[in-house]
Structure 1
């Protein structure tokens, strides 16, 4: 009899083991969820992009109870307070009962649940436990509430829908917000928008033609036009704006006029012809070699130019000190005003590409032919 009982016990353990290996937990029973122990409810976290890999906090919980000996997976779940976890972001999984969360991880979780950047947001947190890769038999911990101020490195955008789009290569339909080019502000919370736009045809402004500045990729946001004076003043109830055909730097400041923002509620459109100049080019520092806009790629290009090692830069309208000067690259790889670039490749013919299509994230390429 003892041998029979031992055999039955061994068979039961074997059956449980095989079931766990195959993610079949039909023989298991969940008896108690985990308990989230730290941090305490009410803690506040002000996240900063300066140290993204530093520790924001560490979450600690005790084990979830299942009546089989098997590995338990845990994930942290975050949701906007009071939403009953209708939409969650997760960090994990882990088989450990603690998780150090970095600033970058917590910030990403906050943005995923659409917490507003730079605004203190109340967030609910819990631990989810489950078995196997199919997330079988989930159990949930108690809920704690914390407050988090997330950040974003994304620049705010302003879109330019108008009657010029189809002919200029910004979609097949005019007044299409979704495909309209955009301007970017210099930083989050700023209202000084800038970008480059190509107008293939003269845009004569009237009730149906021209363009506007839109805060959303639809008509539901604020749509700025000219205040009627056509002197570069914006109005949220203004008229469509027109320009002559060409490649333009477009700026708009949608903020109210204050001492700190004296250029608020203004816009400007300046036609720009970009060129490359410098010791690396055939004409040295004496004159530019003009780039040509390619409406297919939305980039400025020179099909072939002979380059030699030396300094160079990009400038606009064949002149200095006019605000159109790109000669350094920042740590993110984007062109910035002033300074000189250096070509140190082998002498030869190159294709030059200047990409101004991504507002405030301007780049260039020198491609050997």
Structure 2
């Protein structure tokens, strides 16, 4: 009898262990989010796509986070297509964040699939639409995947037709704010910051910022006269209104002093540090000279003068200058003691004297120069 009792107890224990083991294998049941998923970023009216800028950021797509009511990471798959039907599409990235940067090159690939090109000799259009959507999902196999797909976002793109004297239009960033020369006016001859010659996402500026008590600071705008898109900071990182889905805060400026500012628009990193400019020379005149100013050798005989900023004596500008095919240099005080040039056009940095001449593309430009670091910027003025 005692043996039977022991056997019965052992049998019950085995059943209890098995039941506990099965209970430990419970699963969550994912449910689609009733709020859905949709894009939150503001897109440009049209995106200008050139192969020369293929590696640059075209847009950072942002969407709302979804809640599938499960304790597991949610994946987001950004898809791009040449047709609104999405009968075929490309996966541009698969992330657990609710945003993804898309390069100009990726948009160009979709534009080519859509039948667009920039050859004026073909009948193919150079303007059209490409399409984006985002898929949110949990689960790793077809039997367990729960997913939701966003609305379809239509994006207009233009591939500038190739011409002999085509001028690249690149993103410009202009200073605005109560610590800057323009104040909070987005159309007040705002000073641009200087784009890197090799990487269009990196910008530099050395100069005065009029900070202090009661001063909010500065932001950056991409288009004169327009507040959007605007760049500032959010939670310690540089960001734009397109990325954030709202206006960022201003970069703060503690004192009225000279600072060095750098920005990487692709990853949101920036630096802002005070510098000592007290030993830098202050010039009485600055000019551009060379065959590019006249179209012939007579251009080396006469400077076309810049205007000196009244806010910062190291910043110089010329608005609406016609540039001819040829070469140019920038020089101080109408002689060759101090002069600057570089082998890159639109933007570059001279080191003084022995610099190469700037080989230009003809057109009408606003030209800006900073004598503190030798950086120059040619901004094409395109007729509407």
Q: Classify the TM-score, shorter chain.
A: 0.3 to 0.5
TM-score norm. by structure 2 comes to 0.33
TM-score norm. by structure 1 comes to 0.34
